[in-house]
Amino acid sequence: MHCFSDRALLRAELAVLLENSRLAESCAYVQHGQTSTFLHCVAVAWYCLWLARLLRLEVDRRALVRGALLHDYFLYDWHQPGHGRLHGFRHPAAALGNARLCCRLDEREENIILRHMFPLTPVPPRCREGVLVCLVDKGCSLFETFNGRYRRLWWAERMVRRAV
Ligand SMILES: [Fe+2]
Ligand SMILES: [Fe+2]
């Protein structure tokens, strides 16, 4: 179903999560380089939609967006002491635990969040949407590590400022 443009769908799902979750808090945490965890998640959602469209993949776009927006919903700064090396292995389960507290997730959304660190965590995603998030997450992380900026996603941070 393609009745929503990518941007409209992302904005709509983001608005719901900003209202019903603690996602806005992740603006305060650094993911890689100069990018917050919040903007990282928005970027992953955005480029998953882009890639699905490019490859003409039949996907559940809503689950794709919600899973991507919540895939790093672990709510701490992983650079702070105490999180250390195990963060990479543990944060998918932490994100899923937090997400379950605020949202009713379907099986696909849960799988996207829990399996996005494959192959670091050994079980691969079970759905197409999970594979997309897993791949796009790696690309975005690399881009951010080299100090890339998401200039086209400025509106997402403005949505947060309006929501709080
Ligand atoms: Fe992650
Ligand atoms: Fe991520």
**Which residue would you say has higher pLDDT here, 36 or 162?**
36
CA of 70 to the centre of ligand 1 (A): 9
140 CA → ligand 2 middle, Å: 8
pLDDT > 80? residue 1? no
Q: Flag whether pLDDT at 29 surpasses 60.
A: yes
| d(C-alpha 28, C-alpha 126), whole Å | 31
CA of 8 to the centre of ligand 1 (A): 24
Spatial contact of 95 and 105, defined as CB atoms under 8 Å apart = no
Domains and CATH numbers, the chain: 6-163 (1.10.3210)
The number of the ligand nearest the C-alpha atom of 41 reads: 2
More confident site: 161 or 163: 161
The bound ligand whose nearest atom lies closest to the alpha carbon of 93 is 1
Among 126, 29, 24, smallest CA distance to 70 is for 24
- Give residue 86 CA to ligand 1 midpoint distance, Å: 12
For 65-80, the pLDDT digits (tens) are 999 999 999 999 998 8
Instruction: Give the three-state DSSP class for 155.
Output: helix
For residue 108, how far is its CA from the centre of ligand 2 (angstroms)?
A: 17
Q: Which ligand is nearest to the CA of 95?
A: 1
Lowest mean pLDDT among 17-31, 43-57, 82-96, 106-120: 82-96
> Does residue 84 surpass a pLDDT of 90?
no
Using CA atoms, how far residue 29 sits from 6, 13, 35, 55, 158, in Å, is 26, 21, 9, 32, 17
pLDDT of 162 reads 86
